[in-house]
Amino acid sequence: MSLSPRRFTLAVAAACVLLPVALPAPAAAATYVVVIDQMKFGKVPPLKAGDTVTFVNKDMFRHTVTATNNSFNLDLMPNTKGSLHINSAGHATFYCKYHPGMRGTIVAR
Amino acid sequence: MIRTSFLIVAASALAISAPAAAAAPTDPQIAHIAYTAGALDVAAGKQALKMSHNAAVREFAQEMVRDHTAVNDKALALVKKLHVTPEANPTSAALTKAADAERAKLSKLHGAAFDREYVNSEVAFHKTVNGALASTLIPSAKNGELKSLLETGLTLFKEHQAHAEQLAAKLK
């Protein structure tokens, strides 16, 4: 699996959506939101190549979304969000490097 | 030296648990205990950031300062919203006394000796607080929002305990 991390604040994220220079996603691609709260990652839905998954940190703590194999890393302060673009099918596990008991899995077909 | 600090913290653990047998702590007392524990760990983290040159220890200390400050900020906002005035109690006093003694002890140490003592005391401190949260403070909390914050705190502090234990094993 290949993923491209994007990190931005809520305000910047809103601006990015409106930028005309943003490359259009493939027709079938989708964006999913995964909330981080109460020291837990929300469940990541099944994905496919081309999709984007946005992690929103609604917790009061700083968290990361860090690949177990270090292939991606999002460092998210409270009330910020960051996205991963799924470039290819595959499977990845991730954790929060500040709170390693927080774990999740991404599966893309 | 390490054994001494464990005994001190173990004593404060007894102090936390003791009221449960007689009378469960009230919400204002629970708020005070939780806030005090957080503030003490922030102070310990700041001391470590002044004294330690070990990157892993400093990263851990930063995590303690950041996370416990966040919880305490939330706790302050909650007690204000609920119009609750945290109430000083013997458990808070015992925690503070033990932390003061540990801080004084740490102030005389340097280098690897400081790092080991700080991390070992963090293991013991989080064990004590987590035990108290699970056995006494959370079950006794009456207000739902306070209980929820304590539960989030327990999840967080278990992570801290695990992190401290991993770090302690590396520093041996």
**pLDDT for B23:** 79
Interchain pair B66, A61: CB under 8 A = yes
Q: How many CB atoms lie within 10 A of CB B35?
A: 18
- Specify whether the CB–CB gap between A28 and A50 falls below 8 A: yes
pLDDT at A1: 61
Distance from CA of B152 to the nearest CA of A (A): 6
Mode of pairing for the β-strands spanning A52-57 and A80-86: antiparallel
SS3 call for A85: strand
B 74-103 residues inside an 8 A Cβ radius of A: 74
Looking at per-residue pLDDT, the higher value among A5 and A88 belongs to: A88
pLDDT in tens, B18-76: 444 457 999 999 999 999 999 999 999 999 999 999 999 999 999 999 999 999 999 99
Answer whether residue A6 shows pLDDT above 60.
no
Residues of B in contact with A77 (CB under 8 A): none
Contacts of A61 in chain B (CB under 8 A): 66-67, 70, 156
Quick one: tokens of B21?
């047998």
Q: Does A10 touch chain B (CB under 8 A)?
A: no
Question: Which value does ipTM take for this structure?
Answer: 0.76
pTM of the model: 0.80
Query: What per-residue confidence (pLDDT) applies to A5?
Result: 64
Round to whole Å and give the CA distance between B32 and B20: 16
Helices (H), chain B: 2-22, 27-51, 55-82, 90-106, 111-132, 138-140, 144-171
d(CA A50, CA A37): 26
At position B104, the amino acid (one-letter code) is A
Compare CB distances from B67 to A61, A100, A102 and report the shortest one's residue.
A61
Rounded Cα distance, B168 and B152, in Å: 24
What Å distances lie between residue B82 and B1, B51, B133, CA to CA?
43, 39, 20
CA distances from B165 to B39, B70, B130, B159 (A): 21, 22, 14, 10
Residues 128-167 of B with CB under 8 A from A: 152, 155-156, 158-159, 162-163
Give the list of residues 6+ apart from residue B140 with CB closer than 8 angstroms, or none: B20, B24, B25, B26, B30
Q: At what angle do helices B111-132 and B2-22 cross, to 10 degrees?
A: 10
Tell whether A79 is within 8 A of chain B (Cβ): no
Contact A60 B66 (CB under 8 A): no
Average of per-residue pLDDT values in chain A: 83
User: Chain A closest CA to B21's CA: distance in Å?
Assistant: 30
Percentage of chain A surpassing pLDDT 90? 71
Q: Nearest by CB to B156, from A39, A78, A100: name it.
A: A39
